[in-house]
């Protein structure tokens, strides 16, 4: 269904948290925004990255930074 990327990112994090009850949840999503690519500014690479952090990932800056560092190192396609 069509929806705002930020909301979907948070809904995924909430679902994982409520279903599994982990110590922390981190969700990072990258989307191509067709509205920016096809009309208006006509950016050819209209990527937007959103994240939602819960529990240990939200409360601990060191944990959050380690996670973000690991996923950015693992994929040259992610843009933070």
Where residue 42 sits, what CATH number does that domain have?
3.30.1130.10
Q: How far apart are CA 78 and CA 39, in angstroms?
A: 24
* Residue 79, domain member (yes or no): no
Which domain range does residue 35 map to? 5-74
How many domains in the chain?
A: 1
Higher-scoring residue by pLDDT: 72, 18:
18
Q: How far apart are CA 52 and CA 47, in angstroms?
A: 17
25: which residues sit within 8 A by CB, 6+ positions away? 13, 16, 17, 52, 53, 54, 55, 57
Strand partners, 50: 29
* Residue 58, domain member (yes or no): yes
* Residue 42, domain member (yes or no): yes
* Residue 80, domain member (yes or no): no
* pLDDT for residue 74: 73
Q: Which of 11-15, 33-37, 39-43 has the highest mean pLDDT?
A: 11-15
């Amino acid at each position: 269904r069509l929806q705002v990327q930020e909301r979907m990112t948070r809904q995924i994090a909430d679902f994982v948290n409520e279903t599994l009850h982990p110590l922390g949840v981190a969700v990072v999503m990258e989307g191509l925004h067709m509205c920016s690519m096809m009309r208006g500014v006509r950016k050819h690479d209209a990527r937007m990255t959103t994240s939602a952090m819960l529990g240990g990932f939200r409360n601990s800056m060191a944990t959050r930074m380690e996670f973000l560092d690991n996923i950015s190192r693992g994929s040259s396609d992610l843009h933070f």
